[in-house]
């Protein structure tokens, strides 16, 4: 039996997926999504992003069985990643998920 009690409304899944972020006034940013839930995600970037910034994220998983994810996000916090100080750990909430057209 697990001793850990999940306190979040939605469990976060660990992922390691490339993504592209778009924020107004900034060139598109290549990123890596580290975890994902129904309402948020944790992204690693090489540049800092201001908390409160609103933008979009596009994830294209490596396997075609998993559909891409396109969402509008808001940055909750941005801090140096403890695991690797050359990156910033950026926590984001998902505001809306774009509809994906079936192929």
Domains and CATH numbers, the chain: 13-97 (2.40.10.220)
The per-residue pLDDT for 8 is: 55
Query: Partners of 91 in the beta sheet?
Result: 42, 77
pTM of the model: 0.81
- Three-state SS string across 13-67, please? EEEEEEEEEEECCCCCEEEEEEEECCCEEEEEECCCCCCCCEEEEEECCCCCCCC
pLDDT per 10-residue tile (average), the chain, 103 residues: 54 86 90 92 95 93 84 96 94 88 52
The per-residue pLDDT for 1 is: 45
The per-residue pLDDT for 74 is: 97
């Amino acid at each position: 039996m697990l001793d850990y009690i999940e306190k979040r409304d939605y469990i976060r899944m660990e992922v390691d997926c490339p993504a592209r972020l778009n924020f107004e006034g900034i060139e598109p940013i290549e990123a890596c999504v580290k975890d994902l839930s129904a309402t948020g995600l944790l992204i690693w970037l090489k540049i800092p992003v201001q908390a409160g910034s609103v933008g979009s994220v596009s994830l294209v998983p490596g396997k075609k069985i998993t559909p891409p994810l396109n969402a509008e996000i808001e940055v909750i916090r941005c801090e140096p990643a403890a695991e690797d100080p050359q990156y910033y750990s950026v926590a984001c909430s998902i505001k809306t998920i774009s509809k994906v057209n079936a192929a």
